[in-house]
């Protein structure tokens, strides 16, 4: 139920709505819960509402941490 998917914001629309693309599938969702959002941002979508913006820097940092864990782990 709390599953939410990442999607690319392609266009801002009136009334705090936005057009988004889910790997090419286009939908219109509410962005009323976001402080700021621009086309090009990735957001988390849940029941037709963007809940949060995905922070690209933190995403890269997580992947770097995962790679480091793997590099330090004994070879499986």
Partner 1 sequence: MKFVDEYRDGALARGIAAAIAAEVEPDRTYAFMEFCGGHTHAISRYGIEDLLPPSLRLIHGPGCPVCVLPVGRIDDAIRLARLPNVTLCTYADLMRVPASHGGSLLKTKAAGGDVRMIYSPLDAVRIAEAEPDRQVVFLAIGFETTTPPTAIALRLAVSKQLANFTVFCNHVLTPVAMRAILDAAPLPGEQPIAIEGFVGPAHVSTIIGTGPYRIFAETYRKPVVIAGFEPLDVMQAILMLVRQVNEQRAEVENQYIRVVRPPGNVIAQDLCAEYFEVRDSFEWRGLGSLPASALKLRDAYATFDAEQRFDVTTVHADDNPACECGPILRGQKKPADCKLFGTVCTPETPMGACMVSSEGACAAHWTYGRFRDRQPERRRA
Residues engaged in binding partner 1 (CB under 8 A) = 1-6, 8, 22-23, 29-30, 32-35, 42, 44, 46-49, 51-52, 54-56, 58-59, 61-63, 65-67, 69-76
Rounded to whole angstroms, the Cα distance separating 24 from 70 reads: 33
Q: Which helix (H) or strand (E) holds 65?
A: helix 56-72
Nearer to partner 1, 8 or 19 (CB): 8
Nearer to partner 1, 11 or 55 (CB): 55
Rounded to whole angstroms, the Cα distance separating 1 from 16 reads: 24
How many Å separate Cα 9 from the centre of its chain? 9
Nearer to partner 1, 11 or 66 (CB): 66
């Amino acid at each position: 139920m709390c599953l939410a998917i990442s999607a690319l914001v392609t266009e801002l629309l009136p009334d705090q709505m936005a057009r988004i693309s889910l790997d090419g599938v286009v939908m219109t969702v509410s962005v009323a819960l976001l402080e700021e959002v621009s086309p090009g941002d990735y957001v988390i979508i849940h029941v037709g509402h963007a809940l949060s913006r995905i922070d690209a820097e933190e995403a890269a940092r997580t992947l770097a941490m995962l790679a480091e864990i793997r590099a330090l782990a004994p070879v499986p």
